[in-house]
């Protein structure tokens, strides 16, 4: 909007100064007014071309931001599904399968007997529940970090979209798609 006003003002001023050169008394004054008119008009046209070009470049960047948000949303959905899958598997394995396996293994041996203790330790030097907890906790933490990273990327893109949409120096604004507009209203 501001670029429209400034470039329009300088173009109009250059056009309005041109007739003053016709009324000038001396040849030098005519040339001076014509040069001033040409300079102001050229400056206005140059301002208009450069600002129009930068508005078009910003519009292209805005479209890329829209595409990024859609891509981030898709990746976020995948990351959330993966996290839910890990949580479900984590609960199932660590609440039923490993404890039942270790319990049945421990009950097969009499720990009061030294030979059974040695056999038990030879077969299973360490029980797997602890390392399984650690493994799944690491996987769950990584998936939660991925989800948080995707959410941060969406928020950064939404911030950039909002700032660009509120920029009064642009000649025109790209219409924001409805799904992204809904996210911006929550942002």
Q: What is the pLDDT of residues 23-48, one digit of tens each?
A: 777 888 888 888 888 999 999 999 99
- Give the 3-state secondary structure of residue 13: helix
**Is residue 160 packed enough to be buried (19+ CB in 10 Å), middle (13-18) or exposed (0-12)?**
middle
pLDDT score recorded for residue 67: 93
Encoded tokens for 18: 């041109």
Residue whose C-alpha is closest to residue 171's, from 41, 14, 47, 42? 47
For residue 99, give Cα distances in angstroms to 7, 36, 84, 170, 186: 76, 90, 22, 64, 44
Other C-beta atoms closer than 10 Å to the C-beta of 72 total 21
Q: Which residue has the tokens 């720990």?
A: 111
Higher pLDDT, 171 or 55: 55
CB 109 within 8 A of CB 117: yes
Q: How far apart (Å, rounded) are the C-alpha atoms in residues 99 and 110?
A: 18
Q: Which of 11-15, 54-58, 87-91, 123-127 has the lowest mean pLDDT?
A: 123-127
Other C-beta atoms closer than 10 Å to the C-beta of 181 total 12
pLDDT score recorded for residue 1: 63
Higher pLDDT, 155 or 90: 155
Q: What is the DSSP letter of 170?
A: S
CB 146 within 8 A of CB 35: no
Q: Is the pTM of this model over 0.75?
A: no
pLDDT score recorded for residue 68: 93
pLDDT of residue 113 exceeding 70: no
What's the pLDDT band for 89 if we cut at 50, 70, 90? confident
How many structural domains comprise the chain? 1
Q: Which domain holds residue 176?
A: 2-186
Q: What is the pLDDT of residues 116-147, one digit of tens each?
A: 555 555 555 555 555 667 777 888 899 999 99
Q: What is the DSSP letter of 111?
A: T
pLDDT score recorded for residue 130: 59
pLDDT score recorded for residue 173: 80
Q: ∠ CA(35), CA(38), CA(41), 5° rounding?
A: 150
Q: Which of 43-47, 79-83, 93-97 has the lowest mean pLDDT?
A: 93-97
């Amino acid at each position: 909007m501001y670029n429209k006003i400034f470039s329009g003002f300088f173009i109009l001023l250059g056009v309005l100064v041109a007739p003053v050169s016709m009324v000038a008394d001396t040849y030098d004054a005519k040339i001076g007014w014509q040069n001033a008119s040409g300079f102001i008009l050229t400056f206005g046209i140059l301002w208009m071309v450069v600002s129009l070009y930068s508005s078009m470049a910003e519009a292209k960047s805005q479209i890329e931001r829209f595409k990024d948000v859609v891509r981030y949303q898709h990746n976020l959905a995948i990351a959330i599904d993966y996290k839910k899958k890990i949580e479900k598997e984590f609960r199932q394995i660590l609440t039923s399968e490993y404890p039942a396996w270790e319990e049945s293994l421990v009950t097969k041996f009499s720990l009061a007997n030294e030979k059974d203790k040695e056999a038990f330790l030879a077969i299973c030097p360490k029980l797997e529940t602890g390392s399984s907890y650690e493994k799944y906790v690491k996987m769950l933490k990584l998936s939660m970090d991925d989800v948080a990273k995707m959410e941060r990327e969406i928020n950064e893109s939404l911030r950039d979209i909002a700032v660009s949409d509120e920029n009064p120096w642009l000649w025109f604004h790209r219409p924001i798609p409805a799904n992204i507009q809904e996210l911006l209203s929550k942002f």
